[in-house]
Structure 1
Amino acid sequence: MRLQGLLHLKKPLIIAIPVLIVFLFSCSGFEKILKSDDYEYKYKMALEYYKKKDHYRYVTLLEQLQNVYRGTFRADTIEFYLAMGYFNQGDYLLAGHQFDMFRKNYKRSAFTEDAEFMYAYCYYKSSPRPELDQTNTYAAIEAFTEYINRYPNTKRKTEVNKIMNELKDKLVEKSYLSSMLYYKIGDYKAAIVAIRNSINDYPQSKYREELMFHLLKASYLLADNSVESKRRERFQNTLDEYYSFISEFPESKYIDEAKKMYEASMKVLQNVN
């Protein structure tokens, strides 16, 4: 029984030893490449690792070769693959900077169009969810617009248009969420300004009906909570918002609530008069 137990214990070790040997051999092989003074060999191996998508190894080798081949016919290949390595490792900030430098320094390279696209794509990958600051989203739109203007016949046009629509939808949602935040916290005066700005900035927004209804409701609630001297003017504004809303969305799901606010506003105005 004890012998059988030892044999069972040895089986995982027997399996693991070859794996460990291969791992150590591959590590030692890579260490030899790193320490080698044969730059042509390093360059060749960096390209091999690139093909295998071994991002850590080809980036490490290319970083060593940057200065060696600077100013030579291989410089653009090294710089471009290095930027791709940073991108594939998820460092979009560094990759974006690298692609930006590439497009400025190698305007006639075979990789220039790809670098222009990837520069914009790094901003796209860095664009956060709609609730957060959208600086990178604006930067991505600007960079992709520049790319399309520079390469109007690019094979990536469909992909770029899809990305641009996604980025613009994110800005629409950001505008919607920001404007509705004021409404939710009860700051109706600020909500009116923010909602109106959102509607004007994005007239084709999928949130247009909801925003116009809440513009009406914010106007009504502001008027209803106003001091006596401001009620008449603000209820009149509510009526204006009501007419704008029903003229555009006569079949809205909010129509019943909108009519109640209209009737309440009319009653107040009649009493004031």
Structure 2
Amino acid sequence: MKKGILILGLLMVTVSCSEYQKLLKSEETAPKYAAAEKLYKEGEQEDNKKKLRKALTLLEKIEPEFRGKPQGERLVFMLGDTYYELGDYFNAPFQFERFLQLYPNSQKAEEARYKIASSFYHRSPKFNLDQTDTRKAIEELQVYLNTYPEGEFVSTANDMATDLRIKLEKKAYEIAKQYHHTEFYKAAIASFNNFLADYPGSPFREAAYYYRFDSAYKLAINSFQVLMEERLKSAKEYSVSYKKYYPQGEYLPQMEASLNEIEKKLQNF
């Protein structure tokens, strides 16, 4: 019984593949269009990559033949969306941009605009790599949000934008912290100053305030005597900023220990 079912299944797959190959070789566009749409819908609903790839092959073949025809709008969108569903986030935004240029008033325009931004979101790399695609994704998400402030995908788009901004913040914070850890204290202070100015609501803000102080403190205690007093006072000023915003902060015990050392050294002057 099991063997019979298996053989029947294999025969159906073979027939299906044979019909698909005949369809690819056919000169008729109408059957290809119907098959492409069927495979696209089934592949999307079932998350079936094999069907989506078959649909893509057909769509790429017939899309040029329907340009300027009523079916053209549907085909261009399906082509972009098939790339998107297959995880091809390089071809998908290109096709969606083309769709918006050709059919700016389409009912699918909002979805196309969102999926352009979403494609760049998925292309965004880890925080320690080049963030060109991350910035592009934020830009495209903002275009979507500005164009469709009450749109279907607003909540998801806002979540994506938040994720990407945190990634940029983390990169900027880690660069400054790396300067601190490698004892380039002047560069660390400058980087933390920039970070605090650029990202006022960052979750890394408290740590940035502390490590800016710590960089200034370590710069001071490792300075020549002629520079030490001024740098110790500067470090104290940074501690005031930290305490202003974080009076019960996580780094307060370490900071107080360093401030005691600063006071002892200042007495020598």
TM value normalised by structure 2: 0.91
Name the counterpart of 1:3.
none
Asked whether 1:213 is paired with 2:210, we answer: yes
Name the counterpart of 1:135.
132
Of 42-51 and 147-156, deviating more is: 147-156
Structure number with bigger Rg:
1
User: For 1:174-206, what per-residue CA distance to the aligned partner results, in whole angstroms no more than 9, with x for missing partners?
Assistant: 222222121122211111111121111111111
Instruction: Please give the residue correspondences for 1:104-143 in structure 2 after superposition, counting only pairs within 5 Å.
Output: 104-143=101-140
Name the counterpart of 1:7.
none
Instruction: Please give the residue correspondences for 1:225-244 in structure 2 after superposition, counting only pairs within 5 Å.
Output: 225-244=222-241
Distance 2:248 2:64 in 1: 68
Name the counterpart of 1:44.
34
Of 60-69 and 157-166, deviating more is: 157-166
Instruction: Please give the residue correspondences for 1:1-273 in structure 2 after superposition, counting only pairs within 5 Å.
Output: 16-53=6-43, 54-271=51-268, 273=269
1:105 CA displacement? 2.2
TM value normalised by structure 1: 0.90
1:219 CA displacement? 0.5
Distance 1:109 1:253 in 2: 53
1:227 CA displacement? 2.1
**Share of identical aligned residues, percent?**
32
Distance 1:195 1:98 in 2: 41
Structure 1 residue matching 2:247: 3-state secondary structure: coil
Q: How many residues align?
A: 262
1:256 CA displacement? 2.0
Structure 1 residue matching 2:64: 3-state secondary structure: coil
1:18 CA displacement? 3.1
Structure 1: runs of 5 or more not aligned: 1-10
Deviation >4 Å, runs of 4+: 11-16
Distance 1:242 1:149 in 2: 40
User: Cα RMSD (Å) of the superposition?
Assistant: 1.7
